Amino acid sequence: MAQIEVRHLSKTFTSKDAQVNALKDINLEIEQGDIYGIIGMSGAGKSTLVRCLNYLEKPTHGEVWVDGRDLGGMTEKELLRQRKDIAMIFQHFNLLMQKNVVDNVSFPLLIQGVKKKEARKKARELLGIVGLEEKELAYPAQLSGGQKQRVAIARALASEPRILLCDEATSALDPQTTASILELLKDINTQFGITIVIITHQMSVIRKICSHVAIMSQGEIKESGLVNEIFSHPKTREARELILKDIDGEGAVHLAKPQDRLMEAKKIRIVFSENSSFEPVIANMVLKTGRPVNILKADTKNVGGIAKGEMILGLPEDRKLQQEIEDYIRARGLEIEEVTGDV
Amino acid sequence: MFSSEVIQMLIKGIGETLYMTLASTLFGYLFGLPMGILLTISDRDGIRPNSILYKILDVIANIVRSVPFLILLIVLIPFTRLIVGKSYGSTATIVPLVVAAVPYIARMVESSLREVDAGVIEAARSMGASTFTIVTKVLLVEARTSLIVGVTITLGTILGYSAMAGTVGGGGLGDIAIRYGYYRYEVGIMAVTVVLLILLVQIFQTIGMKLSVRLDKRK
């Protein structure tokens, strides 16, 4: 059995004059040690979903099993104890503003009845892990965003959780700080074997540290699996959109002007694997067919340690020529996929 | 300018006023703080929503606060006699003062606790904190500054009420102001008592604000 299993979960919010189906029949399995990303636009239901994983939100239907135990079947007391195993960090850090750093980190331990002195000692060790030993007496208001999130991470680790839920944990941070926080999360995952569930709207976060991803839209999981596979073979429109948006976000190359793009008869997406990026395929192809193609987008990125290249080409209108080009690319062992709509 | 008797009387008046104000505030918080906490957590978006409890407390608070203090003072005379044994003097005045202060304090506490960031409460819940822990370790701690400001404002208000109680023999500076200043036209004494009352409010206010700023770690 997976460490976290979500079965037929749905959540409906009912207000006076409206019903919102925030989650619809969600099924999810997260294995011990995974870094599992859940991505979607705002309003997709991902924050609600992550709150169902520790029962901060009670699902309307369905079950959440953690370490073989059904959270829905627990008494209030058992649930409070269970939450010790499921730590959480937040977009806005949610630190106690009136307590200094070391007391913030001690806080979950005090809740569990650990003596203040022991709690402080443990808190100092944890501050060492997140690299903030020298800030133990500072108050959150004196720290930068990245430092606050490090304190929140140290606090989350205090109860020695088996699972860490991250709710848009890097969304309020600049790119460099985001990278360093992600690095820290990855270290924690390998060092302590803590399963990490990451909620985000940034594909770059998924790409940098996640092993698995689920793509959410309008309260449903559209597609889920290994990050590697979803990046190379996105099956759904939602997945493709998110991957394309990622290219935009990361300083990708836009070679064609928008009006040129409209003229293309056909657009194809080519994915390079680790080997094929060395050969100048496109250049060779153009030489061979004697006809230019329009490179609409091109990008290479690091997906889970493997270099993945991706390119979107606009092909000439001539059908025969299109076929010729596609055959040439396929013969080089590359994958082709037709892209529809605006790129 | 004043005889030593008058000065003695004024000193005694200050003592009585301080006694009534401080004791009433203390007892007021003894009941008003829990009431304010219950109002906050039982509200619809509180950590333990309970609409019936909220409604009951809400109505009680509104009723007591709507009754003018002078009326309350008189209506409560039998109750005061029951508790203190007599219905005049400083100690007796504390009873209606507390009754008037409790819902006032409860509302102050409620508004302070509402200011606490919902995210911090959620974080505490995610750590498995019980409702009691959230109240004692999150709400009261995070709202500390605002609660102290509330105490300061409450002290000023109760001081004013205690002066009002002077009209019915409540003792303190208010009593002196009424008896000498109003009934006997001794404007000098009345002016001095009023100045003393202003000074007391000023002192409470200054101490309260200094304390709340010193204890605020948000900057």
What H or E segment, with its residue span, contains residue A214? strand A212-217
Residue A259: which pLDDT band, with cuts at 50, 70 and 90? Answer: very low
Q: Could you state, in order of their start, the residue ranges of all structural domains in chain A?
A: 4-234, 252-339
Tokens at A331, concatenated: 């013969």
| A252-339 topology per CATH | Alpha-Beta Plaits (3.30.70)
Full domain range(s) for residue B183: 4-215
- Please, what is the Cα angle at A207 between A24 and A59, to 5 degrees? 20
Asked if the C-beta of A321 comes within 8 angstroms of chain B's C-beta atoms, the answer is no
Asked if the C-beta of B212 comes within 8 angstroms of chain A's C-beta atoms, the answer is no
CB contact under 8 A, A141 and B129: no
Residue A50: which pLDDT band, with cuts at 50, 70 and 90? Answer: very high
Structurally, chain B folds into a number of domains equal to: 1
As assigned by CATH, the class of the A4-234 domain is alpha beta
Q: What is the pLDDT of residue A261?
A: 44
Kindly report which listed range (A59-73, A214-228, A247-261, B164-178) carries the lowest average pLDDT score.
A247-261
pLDDT in tens, B72-123: 988 999 999 999 988 888 899 999 999 999 999 999 999 999 999 999 999 9
Using DSSP's 3-state secondary structure scheme, residue B216 falls into coil
Q: How far apart are CA B142 and CA A181, in angstroms?
A: 27
Task: Tell me the average pLDDT across A151-162.
Answer: 96
Q: Which of residues 99 through 158 in chain A touch B, CB cutoff 8 A?
A: 99-100, 107-108, 110-112, 139, 141, 152
A285 close to A329: Cβ distance less than 8 angstroms: yes
Asked if the C-beta of B144 comes within 8 angstroms of chain A's C-beta atoms, the answer is yes
Task: Give the torsion sign (CA, A281, A285, A287, A288).
Answer: positive
Residue that has been written with the tokens 């809400």 in this structure:
B58
Please report how the helices A116-129 and A145-158 are oriented relative to each other, as an axis angle in degrees rounded to 10.
Answer: 130
CB contact under 8 A, B127 and A99: no
A325's CB contacts (< 8 A; 6+ apart) are: A285, A289, A291, A293, A313, A315
Other C-beta atoms lying within 10 Å of the C-beta of residue B69: 18
Report which of A51, A93, A197 is spatially closest to residue B119, judged by C-alpha positions.
A93
| Per-residue exposure over B124-154, b if at least 16 CB sit within 10 Å of its own CB, e if not | bbbbbbbeebbbebbbbbbbbbbbbbbbbbb
Distance of CA A283 to the CA centre of its chain: 35
Give this complex's ipTM.
0.87
Q: Which of residues 9 through 38 in chain B touch A, CB cutoff 8 A?
A: none
Tokens at A335, concatenated: 């994958």
Residue to test with chain B: of A15, A98, A166, most B Cβ within 10 A: A98
pLDDT in tens, B156-209: 999 999 988 877 778 899 889 888 888 888 888 889 999 999 999 999 999 999
Calculate the average pLDDT of chain A: 87
What φ, ψ does residue B115 adopt, rounded to 5°?
-70, -15
Distance of CA B5 to the CA centre of its chain: 32
Sheet holding A61-66: strands in order across?
Answer: A19-30, A4-14, A61-66, A69-70
A98 close to B127: Cβ distance less than 8 angstroms: no
Q: What is the pLDDT of residue A196?
A: 97
Q: Which of B127, B141, B216 sits opposite A83 (nearest CB)?
A: B127
Report which of B160, B169, B168 is spatially closest to residue B200, judged by C-alpha positions.
B160
CB contact under 8 A, B126 and A107: no
Using DSSP's 3-state secondary structure scheme, residue A39 falls into strand
Residue of A nearest to B130 (CA): A80
| Count of H-run helices and E-run strands, chain A | 12, 15
Asked if the C-beta of B138 comes within 8 angstroms of chain A's C-beta atoms, the answer is yes
Task: Output the CA torsion B58→B59→B65→B71 (10° steps).
Answer: -160
Distance of CA B35 to the CA centre of its chain: 13
User: Residue A251: is its pLDDT beyond 50?
Assistant: no
Residue B134: which pLDDT band, with cuts at 50, 70 and 90? Answer: very high
Secondary structure (H, E, C), A91-136? CCCCCCCCCCHHHHHHHHHHHCCCCHHHHHHHHHHHHHHCCCHHHC
Using DSSP's 3-state secondary structure scheme, residue A17 falls into coil
- From chain A, the residues in CB contact with B126 under 8 A are 54, 56, 83, 86-88, 165
User: Which residues is A294 bridged to in the sheet?
Assistant: A314
How far the first Cα of chain A sits from its last, in Å, is 40
What φ, ψ does residue A123 adopt, rounded to 5°?
-60, -40
